[in-house]
Amino acid sequence: MRINGKSGERFLAATSLIAVMTLAAPAFAQTAEADPEVAYDGDIVVTAQKREQRLNDVGLSISAVTGDTLRERNVLDVAQLEQLAPNLSIAQPNGPGNQPAISLRGVGLNDFNSNNNGPIAVYADEVYRSSIVGQNFVLFDVNRVEVVKGPQGTLFGRNATGGAVRVISNRPESAFSAFGSASYASFDTSRFDATINLPISDNIAFRAAGVTTRSDGYIRNVADGTRAAGYDYTSWRAQLLLEPSSSFDVLLSAEGAHVRNGAAGFTFQGLLDATGARCPNAAILSGACGNALGYTGENGFFETNANTIGSTRRDSYLLSGVATLDLGSVTITSVTGYEDVNSVKLEDTDSSPLSILDVQFGVKSQTFSQELRGSYTSDTTNATFGAFYLTENLVQDQTADVFRELRPLLISIAPVGFPGGFNPTGAVTGAPTLFARFNNDQDTETFALFGQVEQNLTERLRLIGGLRYTNERRDFLTIATLEEPGFAVPLYTTPLRVRSSNVTFKAGLEFRPQDNQLLYASVSTGFKSGGFNGGFLLDPAQVVPFRDERLTAYEAGAKLTLFDRLLQFNAAAFYYDYSDIQVFSFINSGNLPVTILSNAGDARIYGFEAEATLRPAEGLSVNASLGLIDTKFTRFTVDPTLGGADFTGNRLALAPAMSLSGSISYERPISSNLSMRGSVDGSYQSRIFFDPSNDPLLSQPGYALVNASLSVGAQDDRWRLTGFARNLFDRRYISYAIDFSSFGFNQRVTGVPQQFGIQLDVRF
């Protein structure tokens, strides 16, 4: 799938291939079936309740976006979905292209360790993506994305405390079709994707799609002039649809992703003055302060000075089979999935020419899941019952190389007879110097039974009730070792186990005052099982499991189609009672930092969100969304042995008080065969904190991003040439920050700057 050579050569080759395919297509193309997507967002078909429904017939808050909208707005991977849904934030703590930290309505997990699962479940074609490392996948040949908000403790269950992100691919069809796209943009960024759909017989169809993309990156490493924050990945998907009869079909799917990214390109923020004391915030923000060894990092906003060549290598595979038997009023569905992820990431954490902290994250995971469910439908009743099973083995191999810069000095003054001359205590600076390895082996097994019934009480009033029982077991073995050439010093070996069981429920009412209008109210619960801190812990006393977290949500909303379908307006208000929250944070213990992943106590969350789509004239579409949220820890005190910080009253991480997004697109014919299309979209979020401490240095003030595109193409969309701009006004912002104050710096991930590009799409 990968095209070798320079990006410009790849772009020309891809463009030539599309041109050849375009010329050849009429010789063998058949007439494609009509696009099932209709003209109004209110008629998007979703499966958020595990059956097909119009979006506005579902008494849930759902942001649904079609594949065409994703392509028009240049949303290329899961991390960019935050631009499209209110109260959704997606950060990348380990840099672009790495695992996401997803927060929905303030419910999320800002942990960068790979053995945890966030409370926002991610699904690809009905299969739960258990490995957080594999959740930031590329979006290509997508039918739609559904962001389902609020706890989904009944039908989805596992780790859906705050909601679910569901990516649904285009299925094989009974008519031939093909699609190709090539683009080139700033930072030598190229992308080529293609899709082909082949009907093999009357009851067998095959579909294959793939994408390859690379970028030099937008961060300059002043140490050697290379670029960072770039990427190089290839993803593919193959599907086979078998329909032996009109009542039975099987969809077999295989997909893979191969990532070969360069350095993440963190930028540096020093915290200490020349005496080693903490600088005032104004001096820190001016760039006048340094790290624990005095480096000040006087670089530009998009510059780093790393002496370690970082990289990310990830190979992931997902195999799935979905079998559906339609018996009329009863439908039986089986969903089988297997996921394999192998990832190694090396980073220069200190982002400086001094070897202060270099970290490597290695993880391998294999997950098998099976769901079997049955659905019953009549004029007055819809019912879904089923069982879910999952087993996962996850192995971590992680290393931390601390203060290697001091190693020669410490070896020269090491006590006589110490193995290898290694002194693990920095006698001169008071800082420890070590190379530590942490090998973790985690096994997870979960089983659930679930059911949900929707019963019409009258022609316009419906009652919903659902229950789910979940039982989960996790075993965790961690082995910590200090290593130097020629010898190793064992620190500890800790086998642990947690067991969790819980019953979650949903109860709701839906009322239709008129056709195309829906009012709803519900109370629902979510549950996320306990687990283990898979980070870098030198003290075995800190290797303790954390408990389950629970959430009770109250929500009321409306979905209104108004003015003869010119306006679609959806709104919801909600209140969350959040208890035993699993929170990740860094604690400056006065020596090495301590990574804490524990139950923070309680929080309350309330908010409002609204989405509107207006089509005032032919070819003109206006979309807008608003999210308002207030989050607060009502009880959160850190372990007194680790400083006893009290975060009670602070805002939750990754939860901006306001988020806005909107777009305007207009298309009109310019000749009998050609049309022109222009669009502008933007998003805004208020200040966001990346840590529960609410340190202003670990936050990003409010900012707005604006994108634009202008295209010309055939009126039937057989081809289209588009020029686009991302971050049109070149807004500078931080997308994530981590507290490494024990080493005298903060690590920051900068957002992508202004980017211009051109794209050619061809379909037949």
- Give the model's confidence band at 343: pLDDT under 50 very low, under 70 low, under 90 confident, else very high: very high
**Are the beta carbons of 109 and 121 closer than 8 angstroms?**
no
**Structure confidence at residue 640 (pLDDT):** 67
Question: What average pLDDT does range 321-338 have in this prediction?
Answer: 96
Whether pLDDT at 3 is above 60: no
What is the rounded distance in angstroms from the CA atom of residue 103 to the CA atom of residue 101? 7
**Structure confidence at residue 415 (pLDDT):** 46
Candidate from 93-97, 105-109, 201-205, 714-718 with smallest mean pLDDT: 93-97
Whether pLDDT at 186 is above 90: yes
- Give the model's confidence band at 333: pLDDT under 50 very low, under 70 low, under 90 confident, else very high: very high
- Give the model's confidence band at 699: pLDDT under 50 very low, under 70 low, under 90 confident, else very high: very high
**Shortest CA distance to 59 belongs to which of 740, 540, 663, 572?**
572
Residue 418 vs residue 282, higher pLDDT: 282
**Shortest CA distance to 621 belongs to which of 664, 661, 662, 565?**
664
- Give the model's confidence band at 1: pLDDT under 50 very low, under 70 low, under 90 confident, else very high: very low
Copy the structure tokens of residue 67.
């594949």
By percentage, how much of the chain surpasses pLDDT 70?
90
| Domain ranges (residues) in the chain | 7-763
Copy the structure tokens of residue 218.
């937008």
**Are the beta carbons of 44 and 162 closer than 8 angstroms?**
no
Residue 238 vs residue 95, higher pLDDT: 238
**Structure confidence at residue 564 (pLDDT):** 86
Q: What are the tens digits of pLDDT across the range 222-233?
A: 988 899 999 999
Q: What is the CATH number of domain 7-763?
A: 2.40.170.20
Environment class of 411 (CB within 10 Å of its CB; exposed 0-12, middle 13-18, buried 19+): middle
- Give the model's confidence band at 508: pLDDT under 50 very low, under 70 low, under 90 confident, else very high: very high
**Are the beta carbons of 265 and 92 closer than 8 angstroms?**
no
Whether pLDDT at 428 is above 60: no
- Give the model's confidence band at 154: pLDDT under 50 very low, under 70 low, under 90 confident, else very high: very high
Q: What are the tens digits of pLDDT across the range 621-660?
A: 999 999 999 999 999 887 766 666 889 999 999 999 999 9
Whether pLDDT at 425 is above 50: no
Per the prediction, the chain carries an average pLDDT of 88
**Structure confidence at residue 410 (pLDDT):** 59
Residues contacting residue 559 through CB under 8 Å, at least 6 positions apart: 42, 55, 56, 517, 518, 520, 568, 569, 570
By percentage, how much of the chain surpasses pLDDT 90?
68
Copy the structure tokens of residue 569.
């307006």
Whether pLDDT at 44 is above 90: no
Question: What average pLDDT does range 372-399 have in this prediction?
Answer: 96
Phi-psi region of 486 (alpha: psi -120 to 50; beta: other; left: phi over 0): left
Question: What average pLDDT does range 305-331 have in this prediction?
Answer: 94
Whether pLDDT at 282 is above 70: yes
Beta-carbon neighbour count of residue 102 at 10 Å? 30
Q: What are the tens digits of pLDDT across the range 526-543?
A: 999 999 998 888 888 888
Using the structure block, give the residue that is written with the tokens 């796209």. Answer: 181
**Structure confidence at residue 409 (pLDDT):** 66
* Partners of 673 in beta bridges: none
What is the rounded distance in angstroms from the CA atom of residue 650 to the CA atom of residue 191? 42
Whether pLDDT at 29 is above 50: no
**What HEC string does 109-166 produce?**
CCCCCCCCCCCEEEEECCEECCCHHHCCCECCCEEEEEEEECCCCCCCCCCCCCEEEE
**Structure confidence at residue 487 (pLDDT):** 80
Using the structure block, give the residue that is written with the tokens 């990348």. Answer: 92
**Are the beta carbons of 525 and 123 closer than 8 angstroms?**
no
Whether pLDDT at 666 is above 50: yes
3-state helix vs strand vs coil in the chain, percent to 5: 10, 55, 35
**Shortest CA distance to 603 belongs to which of 579, 583, 575?**
579
Using the structure block, give the residue that is written with the tokens 């308002």. Answer: 628
Question: What average pLDDT does range 245-274 have in this prediction?
Answer: 93
- DSSP state for residue 37 in the 8-state scheme: -
Candidate from 168-182, 216-230, 457-471 with smallest mean pLDDT: 216-230
Copy the structure tokens of residue 310.
């970082």
Q: What are the tens digits of pLDDT across the range 119-145?
A: 999 999 999 999 988 888 899 999 999
Copy the structure tokens of residue 25.
């297509």
Sign of CA dihedral 269, 271, 273, 275: negative
